[in-house]
Amino acid sequence: MTAYDDQNIFAKILRGEIPSFKVYEDDDTLCFMDIMPRTDGHCLVIPKTPCRNVLDATDAQLASVMATVKKVANAAKAAFEADGITLQQFNETAGGQEVFHLHFHIHPRHTGVAMRAPGQMGDMDAIKRHAEAIAAALD
Ligand code: AMP
pTM, two decimal places: 0.98
What superfamily does domain 9-138 belong to in CATH?
Answer: HIT-like (3.30.428.10)
Q: How confident is the model at residue 139 (pLDDT cuts 50, 70, 90)?
A: confident
Query: Which of 34, 54, 92, 120 for a ligand 1 pocket mutation test, highest count of atoms within 8 Å of Cβ?
Result: 34
Active-site residue numbers?
103
How far, in Å, CA of 50 to CA of 96, rounded?
Answer: 19
3-class DSSP assignment, residue 113: coil
Q: Mind listing the pLDDT tens digit for each residue in 88-130?
A: 999 999 999 999 999 999 999 999 999 999 999 999 999 999 9
Q: What's the gap in Å between 55 CA and the centre of ligand 1?
A: 19
Q: Would you put residue 96 in left (φ > 0), alpha (ψ -120 to 50) or beta?
A: left
Q: What's the gap in Å between 72 CA and the centre of ligand 1?
A: 18
The predicted structure's pLDDT at residue 1: 81
Q: What's the gap in Å between 35 CA and the centre of ligand 1?
A: 7
Q: What is the mean pLDDT of residues 74-99?
A: 98
**Which residues make Cβ contacts (< 8 Å) with residue 25, sequence separation at least 6?**
31, 48
The b-or-e profile of 71-104 (16+ CB within 10 A means b, else e) is: bbbebbbbbbebeebeeebbbeeeeebebbbbbb
Q: Mind listing the pLDDT tens digit for each residue in 14-70?
A: 999 999 999 999 999 999 999 999 999 999 999 999 999 999 999 999 999 999 999
Domain ranges of the chain: 9-138
